[in-house]
Amino acid sequence: MNTQDQLQETIELLVQKGKGILAADESDPTIAKRFDAIGVTSTEEHRRIYRSLILETPRLGDFISGIILFEETLGQRTGDGTALPELATRQGIVPGIKVDKSKGPLALSPGDEITQGLDGLAQRLEAYQIQGARFAKWRNVYHISDTTPSRLAIDANAEMLARYAAICQAQGIVPIVEPEVLMDGDHTIEHCAAVSEQVLHALFHALHRHHVILEHTLLKPSMITPGKSYPQKAVPTVVAEQTVRILRRTVPAALPSINFLSGGQTPEEATANLNAMNCLAPQPWELSFSYGRALQQPALQAWRGEPGNVMAAQAALYRRAELNGAARRGEYRPEMESAGG
């Protein structure tokens, strides 16, 4: 198959009605934080057990079309010796890989950060592809404060994300581009909207400059909300209107799907906000999810590292995926949270 056909096939597998992506690609420091919260030490074996549990969830593929894995997971196997990417494929779930090498300070630009990982990326992608990865993810972060993100941070990060996307497509790997405007701070929803609009404009200009094919790209943005420390939360209809308004201004219709991150929203908030967007008029792109915490939190809480809790954890993950599947169709109702099965 040529590269273009390969990209197209992966897009069709990832973008399906009623389904979204599960982000299970926490880096070692991040998974250690998540495990700490449930009293589990983050060893390689515990991470293998937990991520096997996720992928062994019966019928997870009903609502999950793709899973983003961390490099270590790509090489791990279940108890019976099945490689985890292979297990994903058997579930009808496309395996993907986080390829950025994490963020750090943007030199001489106080408060801004930049994501690294371009060096050797083409070679790493070849190896990941052999291990089964068909798509990739790269995350940039933008801090909102009185002075950030600077123009420089917006432009430099857009350039990195576009170069990553081009390298992926040349290799037949679908890139997910993730510009995350962080929720930290006490800023208004209008401030978040203004920053997000600039970030997305710069990103799509850069993608164009780098010849990235939008039809073979997925966008993973943050939703437009007030800062976490802002005194009042915005209701789902407001988050939905603000988010879709900015996306319509900045994201070309050629892009097939927008898969949001949850970014610190509770599982219920993330589902309700996505649902509200899918209750608006039809948009040129699919509006879906690529949640990490908002899908996994209830499962982690149910598991707590106990073998006897595996089925309860899988049930919690399946339920959250199912509710987000409903939100994909605009059919979620908060009452469903307590409805059980």
Residues designated catalytic: 178, 220
User: Quick check: helix, strand or coil at residue 282?
Assistant: coil
Catalog residues that contact ligand 13P under the rule CB under 6 A: 23, 139, 178, 261-263, 291-294
- Among 180, 183, 248, which residue's Cα sits nearest to residue 220? 180
Quick one: 6 or 295, whose CB is closer to ligand 13P? 295
User: Quick check: helix, strand or coil at residue 341?
Assistant: coil
Least distance in angstroms from the C-beta of 165 to ligand 13P: 16
**CA–CA distance, 318 with 35 (Å, rounded to integer):** 20
User: Quick check: helix, strand or coil at residue 325?
Assistant: helix
- Among 159, 236, 147, 144, which residue's Cα sits nearest to residue 196? 144
Least distance in angstroms from the C-beta of 202 to ligand 13P: 19
Q: Please name the helix (run of DSSP H) or strand (run of DSSP E) that holds residue 6, with its range, or none.
A: helix 3-14
Least distance in angstroms from the C-beta of 181 to ligand 13P: 12
Residues 61/54, Cβ–Cβ less than 8 Å: no
DSSP state, residue 77: B
Least distance in angstroms from the C-beta of 207 to ligand 13P: 19
Quick one: 69 or 87, whose CB is closer to ligand 13P? 69
Least distance in angstroms from the C-beta of 291 to ligand 13P: 4
User: Quick check: helix, strand or coil at residue 284?
Assistant: coil
Helices 267-278 and 310-328: crossing angle in degrees, nearest 10, is: 20
Quick one: 23 or 53, whose CB is closer to ligand 13P? 23
**CA–CA distance, 168 with 139 (Å, rounded to integer):** 14
The pair of three-digit structure tokens given for residue 260, joined into one six-digit string:
């949001």
Quick one: 261 or 310, whose CB is closer to ligand 13P? 261
Quick one: 24 or 40, whose CB is closer to ligand 13P? 24
Q: Please name the helix (run of DSSP H) or strand (run of DSSP E) that holds residue 137, with its range, or none.
A: strand 135-142
